[in-house]
A and B are shown apart, each in its own frame.
Chain A
Amino acid sequence: MEKEVQKEKTPMSVYTGYIKKRARLIGKDIIRHRVSYLFMLPYCLLFTVFILAPVLISIGLSFTYFNILEKPRFVGWQNYVDLFFADEVFLTAIKNTFLFAIVTGPIGYFMALFIAWMINDIRNKKVRAFMTLLFYAPTISGQAYVVWKYIFSSDTYGFANAWLMKLGITFSPHLWFEDQKYIVPILIIVVLWMSMGTGFLSFIAGLQNVDQSLYEAGYMDGIKNRFQELWYITLPSMKPQLMFGAVMTITSSFAIHEQLAALAGFPSVNYAAHTVVSHLVDYGNIRFEMGYASAIATLLFIVMVLCNKGIQAVLRKVGQ
C-alpha cells in the first residue's frame, strides 16, 4: 500500500514502477518456463562459447595488432585501411572471391534447382533415388576432387592434354594449373561439380511435397506449359526451401578455398586462385597476424550476411 502512495508522487517513479512490474512479470515467465530453458541450456552454452563469442572476439581483434605472443595492441581502423589501400593481394582476393561467388553461386543454385526439378519428373522411384545420389555424390565424396588434378594434369598423361593432342588441336601439353588463363575456368568447373550441396536435397524434398491439387487447379486457370507451371505453382509453394538453399549456397560460395588450394596450389600462380578465405588462412595460419586476419574474417562475415539479406529480398518476389 505504501509503495503505491509513493508511486503517485512523481511521473518518474510511476515509470520505474511500471518497469519493475514488467521485470517481475518477465521474471515470473522465465521461472514458469524454466524447464524449456533447462532443455536449451547445454546447446546455448556451447553456442555462446564456440560460435557467438568467436564472432564478437573476431570483430574486437580486427581493431588490434595481435601476433599471439604479445598482448593485442589497439590500432583503430588501421587493419581495414591497410586491407583496402596497402594490400594489393587482398584486392585480387576480393576480385577472385566475387568472380567465383557470382559465377558458381547463381549457376550452382539454378543448376541444383533445375536438376531437382527434372529428377522430380522421373516416375520410377529407384531411378529417381539413383539420380539424386549421382548428383549429390561429388559433394560428399571428401577429397575425390583430386581426380580433376589427374584429368587436367600438366603432362601428357592427363586426359585433357592427351585428347587435345590426339585430335590435333594442340601439339604440346597445356600447363592447366600453372597458366593464369586456364586456372579460373577449370576451377569454376570443379566448384560447380561439387556444388549441389544440402540445398539440392532441400529442393528435391520440397518438390516432392508440392500439393498436387494445386496443379489441377492450375490447368483450370489455363496454365499451358511446364515453365508456367514451375513459375506460378511449383516455385511459390517451395519458397521456404528456396530460402534455405540460398543461405547454404551463399555461405559455401564465399568460403571456397580448400578445393582451389588442393588443385591450383597455395599460393597459386600470381594469386590467380587466391580468394578472401585463402588470404585469411595465409595471415591467420601462416603469418600469425591475427588482428589483420580477424579484419578479413569480419569483412567476409559482413558481406555474407548482407548478401543473404539481399537474396532473401529478391526471393520474396518469386511467383508474383
Chain B
Amino acid sequence: MILKHRKRAKQSHSLVGNTISIALLVILGAFMGLPLVLAVCNSLKPLEELFIFPPRFFVRNPSFKNFHDIFVLMSESWVPFTRYIFNTNFITIVGTLGHLFVASLCAYPLAKHRFPGRNFIFWLIVTALMFSNHVTAIPNYLIMSRLNWLDNYLSLIVPAIVKPMGLFLMKQFMEQVPDSLIEAAKIDGASEFKIFSRIVMPSVKPAWLTLIIFCFQDLWNLQGSNYIYSEDLKTLPYALSQISAAGISRAGATAAVAVIMMIVPITIFILCQSNIIETMVSSGIKE
C-alpha cells in the first residue's frame, strides 16, 4: 500500500531532476563521510605513515600500534585505566536512567492530564530548549559548590537528568497514546502510577530508546573538568584528552582516541536508528 503511494508520488519527478539530486547527495556525502574515513585510517597508520610527503589518504600497512599505545600510556598513570572507564560508565548509566525516569514521569501528566499550569510548564520547557549550557554554567557552578557537590559524580549526573530535550520528545510522543487505553485501565481500577508504568511506558518504547541515545551521547563525551578535581573521579574523555594534549609526538595515539570516542555513539545510533526516526516524527513544535 505504502509502496504504491510512493510510486505515485513520483509523478512530478523528472529523470534529470533525479540524476541531479543523486549527484548532489554523492558529493555532499563524500564531504561528510571522507573526513570520518580519514580519521579511522589515521588511527591505523604507523607514525612514519602519518608524517609522509605527499600524505596518503588510505593506510598502507595497517597496525593497531596506536591503540596499543593508549593502553601503555594509560597504564603509566597513577590511577588505573579501568578507573576512568568505570567513572564514565557509572556517570553515563546512572545519568541516563535517572533522566529517563524523571523525564517520563513528568511527561505523562503533561501529555495526558489537564490541570492548571500545564500550558505554562510546557511553554517553560520549550523555551528552555533554547538555553545553551554556557548561559547557565556560572550559576550552576555556584549552586554545585553550595550543595557541596563539587568533585562528586552528582555534579555531572544531575544536570544531565534535567535536560529539557528529553522531556520535550517524551511528552510529544506520549500524546499519541490513545486516551481510550488509559480510560479502560482507569475503569479497571488501575492507579495512575500503574497506568504510567504498565500501559504508557511500554507503548512509547521508541521514545525512551531515543532519550537513552541522546542522553548517552552527551554523557559519554562529557569531560566535566570544571566540576571534578580528584584524579580517581575523572572521566574517560578527560583522561584521553590528556593524551592528545601532548602534541605531535602522540599524533598516532590521538587519532586512535578520536576513533574510540566516536565508535560507541555511532554503533548505538545504527542499532536504534529506526526507533529514533519514529520518535522524531512527533518532535515538532506546534503553536
Residues of chain A having any CB pair with chain B under 8 Å = 26, 29-30, 33, 35-37, 39-40, 42-44, 46-47, 49-55, 57-58, 61, 111, 115, 118-119, 121, 123, 129, 131-138, 140-144, 146-148, 150-151, 156-159, 162-163, 166, 193, 198, 201-202, 204-206, 208-209, 212-213, 215-216, 219, 223-226, 228-229, 238-244, 247-248, 250-252, 254-255, 257, 277, 280-281, 284-285, 290, 293-294, 297-298, 300-301, 304-305, 308, 316
| Set A133, A240, A298: member contacting B284, Cβ < 8 A | A240
Interface segment, B62-70, B82-90, B161-169? B161-169
8 Å CB contact of B262 from A36, A57, A144, A204: A144
Give the distance in Å from the alpha carbon of A121 to the alpha carbon of B18 in the complex: 9
Q: Which residue of A lies closest to B3 (CB)?
A: A123
Provided the pairs A115-B25, A241-B284, A284-B138 are in contact, do residues A51 and B54 lie with their beta carbons within 8 angstroms? no
A55:B254 contact, CB within 8 angstroms: no
| B244 and A118 contact, CB distance less than 8 A | no
Given contacts A42-B102, A58-B136, A118-B25, whether A51 and B110 have CB atoms under 8 Å apart is no
B246 proximal to A (CB < 8 A): no
A225 and B12 contact, CB distance less than 8 A: yes
Residues of B within 8 Å of A, CB-based: how many? Answer: 102
Question: Interface code B111-137, partner A: CB below 8 Å = 1, 0 otherwise?
Answer: 001011000010011111111111111
Cβ–Cβ contact B139 & A53, under 8 A: yes
* A54:B136 contact, CB within 8 angstroms: yes
A59 nearest CB across to chain B (Å): 10
Which of B52, B161, B196, B280 is A201 in contact with, Cβ under 8 Å?
B280
**Given A134-B32, A193-B35, A305-B130, 5 other A-B residues pairs in contact with their CB atoms under 8 A:** A36-B115, A51-B131, A51-B162, A135-B29, A201-B277
Q: How far is the CB of A19 from chain B (nearest CB, A)?
A: 16
Check A147–B42 contact: CB distance below 8 A: yes
Pairwise interchain contact B106-A42, C-beta atoms closer than 8 A: yes
Q: Are B35 and A39 in contact (CB under 8 A)?
A: no
Inter-subunit contact B139/A212 (CB<8 Å): no
- Closest B residue to A33 using CB positions: B115
- Residues of chain B within 8 A (CB-CB) of A151 are 35, 38
Looking at A121, A166, A255, A308, the one whose CB has the most chain B CB atoms below 10 A away is A121
Closest-CB distance, A148 to chain B (whole angstroms): 7
- What are 17 A-B pairs at a CB distance below 8 A? A35-B192, A39-B108, A46-B162, A52-B128, A53-B143, A132-B277, A134-B29, A141-B265, A143-B221, A143-B237, A144-B36, A158-B55, A201-B276, A209-B281, A229-B12, A297-B136, A300-B135
Residues of B within 8 A of A61 (CB): 138-139
Q: Pick the residue among A52, A219, A238, A280 that contacts B12 (CB under 8 A).
A: A219
Contact of B278 among A50, A156, A205, A224 (CB under 8 A): A205
Kindly state the separation between the CA atoms of A116 and B167 in the bound complex, as whole angstroms: 25
Known A51-B164, A229-B12: A29·B135 in contact at CB below 8 Å: no
Closest chain A CB from B158 CB (angstroms): 6
Q: Which of B2, B13, B241, B254 contacts A121 (CB 8 A)?
A: B13
Is B152 on the interface with A (CB-CB < 8 A)?
A: no
- Which residues of chain A come closer than 8 Å to B6, judged between CB atoms? 123, 212
Q: How far is the CA of A47 from the CA of B2 in the complex (A)?
A: 42
**B133 → chain A, closest Cβ, in Å?**
8
Q: Which residues of A contact B128 (CB under 8 A)?
A: 47, 51-52
Q: A142-B258, A247-B130, A297-B138 are in contact. Are A157 and B109 (CB under 8 A)?
A: no
Cβ–Cβ < 8 Å partners of B143 in chain A: 49-50, 53-54, 57
- In the complex, residue of chain A having the shortest beta-carbon distance to the beta carbon of B2: A212
* Complex Cα spacing A181 to B214, Å: 37
Minimum distance in angstroms from B61 CB to a CB of chain A:
17
Closest-CB distance, B98 to chain A (whole angstroms): 9
Are A244 and B162 in contact, with the CB atoms below 8 A?
no
B1-26 interface code vs A (CB 8 A; 1 in, 0 out): 01001101101111001100100110
Q: Complex formed: what's the CA distance from A202 to B216 in Å?
A: 19
- Closest residue of chain A to B240 (Cβ to Cβ) is A143
Least CB distance, A118 to chain B, in whole angstroms: 5
Q: Determine whether B273 belongs to the interface, using a CB cutoff of 8 Å to chain A.
A: yes
Interface status of B204 (Cβ within 8 A of chain A): no
Chain A CB within 10 A, most for which of B138, B161, B283: B138
